[in-house]
Chain A
């Protein structure tokens, strides 16, 4: 820290990396939420950077760091508490319309899109998908009903699923 006060950037970088686990431990004693705790750790890093002239060479560094980290953790908790007091979670109001069907619009649109996508598949793939996946028949029976070989059925189903994924944006 003394080297950092003198402006040694590499020593400062090493020091901050070395104390990071300690800062995290101090903050995590107060804040359980991981992202919130990491924000408090970063607040503590900024504060100790700002106050680095107030560290007295020769005194132990840990109490100085711990007091700063503790302070920023308490700040975060207080701000969090204030926010929670003002905000109302909106999940409970997800259903905004009184008619039961009215709130299922998204699901209906998705279903319609899926039907359209299936309808656009080549006939062989569509048949394979219907028998092997939708009706969940064993491959031998699906083969008997469709007149396609088991191997061809497998390939067609695979291609159908891949095509659907790609079209509905699920690929990757």
Chain B
């Protein structure tokens, strides 16, 4: 078929569409949803009993704020990258907060060792962390990918990764509001691995939620 013929067919096939809202607005819509979901989860579990003490510890507040910032930045970056005409450099937006978050967790671990001695290195299993981050992060990832499904035919991979990161880091921030984990090393390992698992899941399975490249048939 000649391209001019294809144009004739596409024009004849045209149905009106509503232009999508700007990407920043899409990101905000999703962030509100995330706030609602994670807020509900926190309300159900109740804030941790030592929240006031923990909030006095600088590294704790730092890691909390950095994880929130990572989530927000990743959501904006994903919404922008889903549009064909936005520069790919937006993918770097969450890198700064992400590094800050990891640095805060790392420094927190050192500070713990200094404060409570070698006990800070005690490892425990905390499947609860993994379950919570995956439990709230997965539906949020699905919602974000469906909202940004137009990324499929143009820039699927960064949007999948950023979508997983946005959901997981916000879920991790919510988790640290009610879950009792004393040692930062535990937070680093359990939250970190839960975030990694969700990002990998989004990367491996998320493409099905996006639009597929149209094929001539």
Contact = CB atoms under 8 A, between A and B. Distances in A.
Interface in A43-96: 43, 45-47, 49-57, 59-60, 63-64, 67-68, 71-72, 75
Nearest to B214: A46
Contacts of B19: 2, 5, 53, 55-57
Given A45-B3, A54-B83, A71 B14 contact: no
A7 B15 contact: yes
A20 B8 CA distance: 12
B92 interface: no
A42 B153 CA distance: 14
* Chain B interface size range: 20 to 34
B88 to A, nearest CB: 9
Contact of B153 (A16, A17, A47): A47
A103 interface: no
A17 B10 CA distance: 11
B53 interface: no
Interface string B46-70: 0000000000000000000000000
Contacts of B215: 43, 46
Contacts of B14: 4, 7-9, 12
Interface string B138-175: 00000000000010011100000000000000000000
Contacts of B15: 7
Contacts of A42: 1, 3, 6, 216
A46 B217 CA distance: 11
Contact of A54 (B3, B84, B213, B214): B84
A53 B17 contact: yes
Contact of B11 (A16, A41, A50): A16
Interface string A113-153: 00000000000000000000000000000000000000000
Interface string B10-34: 1111111111101000000000000
A98 interface: no
A12 B83 contact: no
Given A5-B16, A13-B11, A45-B7, A63 B154 contact: no
B150 A54 contact: yes
A107 interface: no
A6 interface: yes
B130 interface: no
A73 B126 CA distance: 47
B111 interface: no
B28 to A, nearest CB: 15
A79 B57 CA distance: 54
Contacts of B17: 5, 7, 52-53
Interface of A: 2, 4-10, 12-13, 16-17, 20, 38, 41-43, 45-47, 49-57, 59-60, 63-64, 67-68, 71-72, 75
Identify the 3 closest CB pairs spanning chains A and B, nearest first. A7-B16, A13-B11, A67-B84
25 contacts: A2-B19, A5-B18, A5-B19, A8-B14, A9-B11, A9-B14, A12-B10, A12-B11, A13-B11, A17-B4, A38-B3, A42-B3, A49-B10, A49-B13, A50-B153, A52-B17, A53-B19, A54-B20, A54-B84, A56-B22, A63-B85, A68-B153, A68-B154, A71-B155, A75-B213
